[in-house]
């Protein structure tokens, strides 16, 4: 004699031909559509862990040592790894671009500077009450040879941050002209 099938909770018979509503094709389609609507169609940006940030900082430190030894190729490789680990860090991209300019890799430097500019633009969007990322955009625009855009960005910063001491000092001290004339700046800047 065969015993009747009992459910996993021991309370009653199982129904072998019954399909759970969450396993039906219609439910799966609805679930996919709901996730697209709720999450948007954009791919999620990968979260950068604190371990990755620490590793990138260590790579940058090693790159600074390589730079002191004038080992630009090694510094470039280390900065490329750091920028790949933390693509939201504009400084890593700008430093990478500077290493590439020193080695005559101007197109690679242009791409790195553009990535740095994008990181600073993103930072400025995420922190609209802070002027630092906006002033760094001015710097990178100058490196890219986009002097008119740099001046326009500085004008916007002056308008958006009328009481900010850093912006006032940059504008009143005519820092953009001093920056563009600085031989160290010219060494890593790209032409238009």
61: domain range? 50-188
End-to-end CA distance of the chain: 90
- Residue 133 placed within a domain: yes
With a CB cutoff of 8 Å and minimum separation 6, the contacts of 57 are 82
- Residue 33 placed within a domain: no
- Residue 150 placed within a domain: yes
Do the beta carbons of residue 5 and residue 14 sit within 8 Å?
A: yes
Cα 189 from Cα 141, distance rounded (Å): 10
Token pair of 38, please?
């709720």
- Residue 6 placed within a domain: no
- Residue 34 placed within a domain: no
Q: How confident is the model at residue 91 (pLDDT cuts 50, 70, 90)?
A: very high
Domain containing residue 92: CATH number: 1.25.40.10
- Residue 11 placed within a domain: no
pLDDT at res. 55: 95
- Residue 24 placed within a domain: no
The mean predicted confidence, pLDDT, of the chain is 82
- Residue 103 placed within a domain: yes
pLDDT at res. 7: 43
pLDDT at res. 192: 64
Domain total of the chain: 1
Which tens digits make up the pLDDT trace of 66-85?
A: 999 999 999 999 999 999 99
* pTM for this entry: 0.74
Q: Is the pLDDT of residue 9 over 90?
A: no
Query: Rounded to 5 degrees, what angle do the CA atoms 149, 137, 187 make?
Result: 85
Do the beta carbons of residue 164 and residue 148 sit within 8 Å?
A: no
């Amino acid at each position: 004699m065969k015993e009747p099938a009992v459910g996993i909770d021991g309370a009653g018979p199982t129904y072998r031909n019954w399909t759970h509503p969450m396993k039906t094709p219609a439910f799966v389609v609805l679930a996919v559509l709901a996730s697209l609507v709720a999450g948007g169609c954009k791919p999620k940006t990968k979260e950068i862990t604190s371990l990755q940030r620490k590793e990138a900082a260590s790579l940058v430190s090693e790159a600074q040592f390589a730079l002191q030894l004038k080992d630009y190729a090694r510094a470039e490789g280390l900065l490329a790894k750091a920028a790949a680990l933390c693509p939201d860090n504009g400084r890593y991209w700008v430093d990478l671009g500077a290493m590439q300019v020193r080695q005559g890799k101007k197109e690679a430097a242009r791409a790195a500077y553009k990535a740095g500019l994008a990181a600073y633009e993103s930072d400025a969007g995420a922190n609209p009450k802070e002027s630092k990322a906006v002033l760094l955009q001015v710097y990178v625009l100058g490196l890219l040879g986009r002097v008119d855009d740099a001046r326009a960005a500085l004008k916007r910063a002056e308008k958006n941050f009328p009481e900010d001491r850093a912006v006032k000092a940059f504008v009143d001290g005519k820092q953009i002209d001093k920056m563009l004339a600085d031989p160290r700046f010219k060494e890593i800047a790209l032409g238009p």
